[in-house]
Amino acid sequence: MLRLDKTGYMFIIFLSMFFMLGTLQVDATPEQDEGSIEKSKVTDEPEAEQKLRTADVTTQSEDQPVKIFLDPGHGGDDAGAQSNGIKEKDVVLDIALKTKEVLDNEYEGVETKLSRSSDKFIELEDRAQQANDWGADYFTSFHLNSFDGSASGFESYIYNGNVSEETKTRQHHVHTYLADRLEVDDRGKQSANYSVLRNTSMSSILLEYMFIDDSDENELLQKEDYRDQLGELTAESIADTYDLNKK
């Protein structure tokens, strides 16, 4: 018969602890799998991100038209930039009117609204407010650049603060569509703290088509059919990012 003295009890406790540790180790083994779980998470991430992006830009339901707000810059006493007899406010109004005409007449599932359809001044805050009140899905502002005659080309802007993935993705779509077809220098996708971009509650973009004081670009902008072409391309670029079908 085994008689347990103090040392014997200590030995049994020691053994129990040893087996408990063993048990703990066995329990802990699944943790090693987390390595591969982590790995697969990492592998899955780009796909998940991709899905999110796609979801971000295709949230429009079939029977709900996309609401596109078109904002020709300046107007009235505010002529914007001017050079060689033409004014930014007039050129961008022509481009925006043509964009509206093409979207309205040639595409399905889209509604448009202009901040102004004539030569009148509207405060910047009111342009954003109009779009917010209307519940626009997308805000597009039309502008021309000017410098000192030495700069040329096309660029687009989104807000330089917090913007959604949708805003970035749509800028990429619209910018690329236009830059590939405008046949002027591509100055790139930019961001800035512009009032209309900051104050609109939906995704928004500001297009600076060209430089009104560059002699070649001024010559193009003088032509009515070229302005129409800019309007057609802009409508197509919006149709492209929203996957709009032609009528």
Active site residues: 208
Instruction: For residue 146, give Cα distances in angstroms to 85, 92, 168, 215, 245.
Output: 14, 13, 25, 11, 35
Position with the least CB separation from Zn ion:
143
Which one of 66, 67, 68, 73 is in contact with Zn ion (CB under 5 A)? 73
In angstroms, rounded to a whole number, what is the distance separating the alpha carbons of residues 62 and 181?
29
Nearest distance from C-beta of residue 73 to Zn ion, angstroms? 4
Nearer to Zn ion, 130 or 145 (CB): 145
When asked if residue 231 is in the footprint of Zn ion (CB under 5 A), the reply is no
Residues 108-147 that bind Zn ion (CB under 5 A): 143
Nearer to Zn ion, 57 or 122 (CB): 122
Nearer to Zn ion, 74 or 100 (CB): 74
Residues 7-66 that bind Zn ion (CB under 5 A): none
Nearer to Zn ion, 87 or 143 (CB): 143
Closest among 207, 202, 187 to 242, alpha carbons compared? 202
Answer for the pair 160, 193: CB distance below 8 angstroms, yes or no.
yes
Nearest distance from C-beta of residue 208 to Zn ion, angstroms? 7
Beta strands per DSSP E along 185-227:
186-192, 203-211
Answer for the pair 157, 191: CB distance below 8 angstroms, yes or no.
yes
- Tokens 């930014």 sit on residue: 88
Give the number of other CB atoms < 10 A from CB of residue 86. 17
**Sign for the pseudo-dihedral over CA of 234, 100, 78, 219:** positive
Give the number of residues in contact with Zn ion, rule: CB under 5 A.
3
Span of 4-12, 79-87, 190-198, 238-246 interacting with Zn ion by CB under 5 A:
79-87
Which one of 72, 75, 80, 231 is in contact with Zn ion (CB under 5 A)? 80
Span of 3-11, 22-30, 47-55, 72-80 interacting with Zn ion by CB under 5 A:
72-80
Span of 16-24, 27-35, 68-76, 216-224 interacting with Zn ion by CB under 5 A:
68-76
Nearer to Zn ion, 82 or 222 (CB): 82
Helix (H) or strand (E) holding 225: helix 224-241
Closest among 105, 235, 216 to 178, alpha carbons compared? 235
Binding residues (CB under 5 A) for Zn ion: these are: 73, 80, 143
